[in-house]
Structure 1
């Protein structure tokens, strides 16, 4: 993936500049999180200078923060001494999130049952502004590494889960998100035109689920339904993905649409 595409998948909260002006905002803590977040954009260990360049934090400050984070177990040296990598302690927080997030906890048995019935890949993604972050991934018989990792991110604008979530927003909200999205193609068939995307969102609104053909991976068909909170606002999506070599779009939709609609309703809050 290109650096531009990777950056587009990072958290891009529009309210952050306002939060930085608040007297309760701890700037040093914010910078430390920027340092840790530098690893989001790399597939190799990082030097201090690389961390400084990616995070936008000065090198001397990065050096002090990395020393502190290493002492606490949140950053470590690469075994081959090529730079720094995330430390083991970060996994403690991953576990905390998994066991305390109410959507993840409620969805877990539902996802297992859906996987048992469908025998295809089942995912739970959480909505974060312009991206979806996978919080649970149940494999099918054919997988690639990136599609098995919790924390993997995909764009909101071109995924079945994204369309399902956008379908539960007002037109103005959906338009604003599409406009702000970096609509970079993931495959030759990725839809980037806003008018076409709005048609897919309208279909999802009408059906109660979205279907995406080869939007993220070539040869893949994916279906998703949104999970709603107590205010009927979308917070997450359940995905079901399969191979177009094994399913026609018509049969895939006929077979799995009732299952995924029911699964999303079960997890949604009344």
Structure 2
């Protein structure tokens, strides 16, 4: 089966290129950044530095960016932070998930995270760290490759054909072994059907020493599937522990969240990958 490719929306006459470039500047910022210069933003966005300078000046005037120390470094401004709080509040299901996911992190000794699709990658929007246990360190805003992570495999396996076509229009990176994402989508769907969770193969992992298991989740407040994931160093989360304990517990927690939200406990994935 050929991978469905939606025509690039950037070629649509209704597509506002300047707006898209301004948003790409905002998306260039990461949680661990201590400010970015125009040159650094240009490198991350692949936009001309002259274009970036005009965009950062405009975004600064509107409050989306700020230069608190006047050292040429930009940081997210109050307007952007306010918008982020509004967006986070729209994911109301994460509030009832807080206690159960923290309990899952403590019980399994893993980092539990919730990731949503951000164009060609997955972005972390919430994490829960185990108490009194050293865990892997991933911050909110960190982005995971779709074709090289268990979170991505779960999302791929749960996507409909229409959602997959939309994903491919954002040109995600191919799998590390070169296989098409359509093949990985079928593999993810097969794992979800067989066991209710997804685990990326060792040869595909973008972080060679980190194991993870993921379960997709759907909400009426999101356009497509997202993923809850448990992850840890290999020695703390070997394959046997994933399949005997952590995977089933994560699946149970996601089902419990569905019940709490008044949603049917039907799986987040279709019966057939062709749907």
* Same fold per superposition (TM over 0.5): yes
Equivalent position to 1:193, from 179, 185, 189: 179
Distance 1:234 1:267, change over 3 A: farther
Matches within 5 A, 1:30-179: 30-39=20-29, 45-48=35-38, 51=41, 54=45, 56=47, 59=50, 62-77=52-67, 79=69, 81=71, 83-89=72-78, 90-140=80-130, 141-143=133-135, 145=137, 147=138, 149-170=139-160
Instruction: Give TM-score scaled by structure 2 length.
Output: 0.70
CA distance in structure 1 between the aligned counterparts of 2:39 and 2:128, rounded to whole angstroms: 38
The alignment of Structure 1 onto Structure 2 pairs a total of residues equal to 245
Equivalent of 1:244 in 234, 237, 258: 234
State the alpha-carbon separation in 2 of the partners of residues 231 and 102 from structure 1: 9
| Alignment deviations for residues 52-80 of structure 1 (CA, whole Å, 9 cap, x no partner) | 56453672x64444334334443233748
Q: 1:182 aligns with which of 173, 184, 198?
A: 173
CA distance in 1, matches of 2:101, 2:200: 20
TM-score when normalising by structure 1:
0.71
Q: Which runs of 5+ in 1 are unaligned?
A: 1-12, 186-190
| Residues 65 and 246 (structure 1), Cα distance of their counterparts in 2 relative to 1, 3 Å cut | closer
Q: Structure 1 202/233 Cα, relative in aligned 2: closer, same or farther at 3 Å?
A: farther
Contact 1:126/1:133, CA 8 A, preserved across alignment: yes
Instruction: Describe the SS at the equivalent of 2:101.
Output: helix
Higher RCO structure (Cα 8 Å, ≥6 apart): 2
Indicate if the aligned counterparts of 1:45 and 1:84 stay in contact, CA closer than 8 A. Answer: yes
**Which residue is equivalent to 1:203?**
191
Deviation at 1:210, TM superposition (A): 0.8
Please name the residue that 1:10 is paired with: none
CA separation of 1:236 and 1:178: change in aligned 2, threshold 3 A = same
Aligned to 2:10: 17
Question: Which of 252, 259, 263 in structure 1 is aligned with 2:249?
Answer: 259
Which 5+ residue runs of structure 2 have no aligned equivalent? Answer: 1-5, 265-275
- The farther-off stretch of 258-267 and 167-176 is 167-176
